[in-house]
Structure 1
Amino acid sequence: MKKFLCLLGALALSLNSCSSDDSNSDGESSTNALPTKITLTTVEDGKSGSLDYTFSYDGNKLKQISLSDASKYVYTYTGDVITKVEYFRSSVLISTDVYAYENNKLVSKITTQAFNSTYQDKLTFVYNANGTVNANQSQIRDRQEVKYDTTTLYTFANGNIVSAEYNDGLKEKTTNTFDDKKSPFVNITGLKLLLDLAQVDSDDYQFDFHSANNALTSVTVNYDADGKAVQTLSVDYKTKYNSNNFASEVFAGDANDSFKIQITY
């Protein structure tokens, strides 16, 4: 089971959806709540596992996300925008992402691997007149930028990423629907500006840090070189909420393959 909520990934589940209110959640006294811990429980081929994410802050600015597998993400701000994210495993630096902005919009992300700094991966963001955004891929080698044809086209509505279309010659498009309740991450300073790039990535799950609300459904369609749809994969989410309408639990799956996240504020 891989990346159930990744906007660019594929999901192999087709499930029934429902939403319900749930007042049994920590820290629901404030509409300015911040997530302090998220527990991910997964079942793959009937075998279960779990992973904890612990969030620490300076006010509403995210300082660090520590995982129970001894990895962590460390966030650096310049003013109110995130300009660097460092990824560590067992206290060893693995990679560094550097973000640049113009007019309070993300314009580039450059990723450097700690053990292979001879090249850097780059994303350049183009803001289109119709409100969509292209993230164009390139690579920097010996200070020379090599541009690729690979791009991701983001489409937005009501503060959410409603579709992400990845194209590297073959196209994959994920379309999402959302509820009208609050995402756990809406009060974290600067996180939304990173689109879906602030995702903390494990083998099983990725967070959508951009969207203001919570996904109800995701449908991913893969196309062949002629533009014909060759595979459609769907997932529906069952979400519970606390008394302030923040998501407190999300579930998708069945007895054999599933994931569940539980959010503490």
Structure 2
Amino acid sequence: MRKITYLLCISLFIFTSCSSESDTPQNTETSTVPKKQIISRLDSPVTIDFVFDGNKIVSSTHSDNYVVKYTYKGDLITKKESSDLTNEYSYTDGKLTTYLRKLTGRDYYDKYSYTYVSNDVVSFVVSRITISTGAEEVISAKNIYTLKDGNIIKYETSSSVTTYKYDNKNSPMRNVLGFNKIFEEQPQVSSSVNNVTSYSVTLSNNSSYTNEITYTYNDHNFPTEINYYHGQSIAFTNKYSY
């Protein structure tokens, strides 16, 4: 598949941003969820098998028997746990307000506290809490997501600004219930509705770089192969079956 150029990504972004809602392909395959993911890097590939109950994800099992289990309350994911990590999610009126990230064996855990500045802007503060004393220290004060049409289009911190450009197709996890409510640190992985075609990072010293992502889609506009580029080379590839 021909590599998408940066200029084409800009053109695609302008087109999808300016098109009316009727011009954008709608997701009519609401039952489509990923069954298997294969991540190919320079070393041995990793296979992930997903188990679902309808559109609710139950678990994902990696080829090294690393298992991640999910817990729901209604349609919202409240816990994501494995042998070395537990994520807990709390909501107010269906919006994520607190995310606790607990690593096994650590004497602390991290708390992400979200504030909804508007429908399209979400800020959050990351604090580190010492388990024995309950002492809380802010470790990341400035974090801002800007959203549009179900996608994270900008992520700002005190040290960098990352902007994302998207296609108008379905992301692999689009139909997974509750995934659009939890802000993953890598939106090109799961939390956005569409697929990131490129992302540009500008650092506080004004240096910047852009990486691209290309896709092969099935007949229902879900990606079956994703190539992640670092510069001109493919860093790794994801393959999905549904």
Which of 146, 163, 186 is 2:174 aligned to? 186
- Give the whole-Å Cα distance in 2 for the aligned partners of 1:255 and 1:178: 19
Q: CA deviation at 1:68?
A: 1.3
Which residue does the alignment assign to 1:241?
Answer: 217
- Give the whole-Å Cα distance in 1 for the aligned partners of 2:228 and 2:108: 38
Which residue does the alignment assign to 1:41?
Answer: 40
TM-score by length of 1: 0.75
Greater relative contact order (Cα < 8 A, sep 6+):
1
Q: CA 1:181 to 1:257, structure 2 compared with 1: closer, same or farther past 3 Å? A: closer
Which residue does the alignment assign to 1:109?
Answer: 99
The structure with the greater share of residues assigned to helix is: 2
Cα deviation 1:240-261 (Å, max 9, x = unaligned)? 1111111111113389653111
Which of 168, 175, 193 is 1:212 aligned to? 193
Q: CA 1:138 to 1:184, structure 2 compared with 1: closer, same or farther past 3 Å? A: same
- Give the whole-Å Cα distance in 2 for the aligned partners of 1:257 and 1:208: 16
- Give the whole-Å Cα distance in 2 for the aligned partners of 1:236 and 1:178: 11
- Between Structure 1 and Structure 2, how many residues are aligned? 218
Q: Which runs of 4+ in 1 moved over 6 A?
A: none
Give the alignment's Cα RMSD to 1 decimal.
Answer: 2.4
Which residue does the alignment assign to 2:21?
Answer: none
Q: CA 1:207 to 1:52, structure 2 compared with 1: closer, same or farther past 3 Å? A: farther
1:138 equivalent to 2:138? Answer: no
| Corresponding letter in the other structure for 1:222 | L
Which residue does the alignment assign to 2:240?
Answer: 263
Q: CA 1:154 to 1:255, structure 2 compared with 1: closer, same or farther past 3 Å? A: closer
Which residue does the alignment assign to 2:51?
Answer: 56
Which residue does the alignment assign to 1:22?
Answer: none
| Corresponding letter in the other structure for 1:263 | Y
TM-score by length of 2: 0.81
Checking the alignment, whether the CA contact within 8 Å between 1:15 and 1:235 is kept in structure 2 is no
- Structure 1 unaligned blocks of 5 or more: 1-13, 20-28, 88-92, 200-205
Q: CA 1:51 to 1:207, structure 2 compared with 1: closer, same or farther past 3 Å? A: farther
Q: CA deviation at 1:144?
A: 3.0
Cα deviation 1:15-46 (Å, max 9, x = unaligned)? 73679xxxxxxxxx955210000111123xxx
Which of 163, 173, 177 is 1:175 aligned to? 163
Q: Percent identity?
A: 27
Q: CA 1:130 to 1:64, structure 2 compared with 1: closer, same or farther past 3 Å? A: closer
Which residue does the alignment assign to 2:144?
Answer: 153
Which of 67, 73, 76 is 1:72 aligned to? 67
1:222 equivalent to 2:203? Answer: yes
- Give the whole-Å Cα distance in 1 for the aligned partners of 2:84 and 2:56: 23
- Give the whole-Å Cα distance in 2 for the aligned partners of 1:146 and 1:255: 40
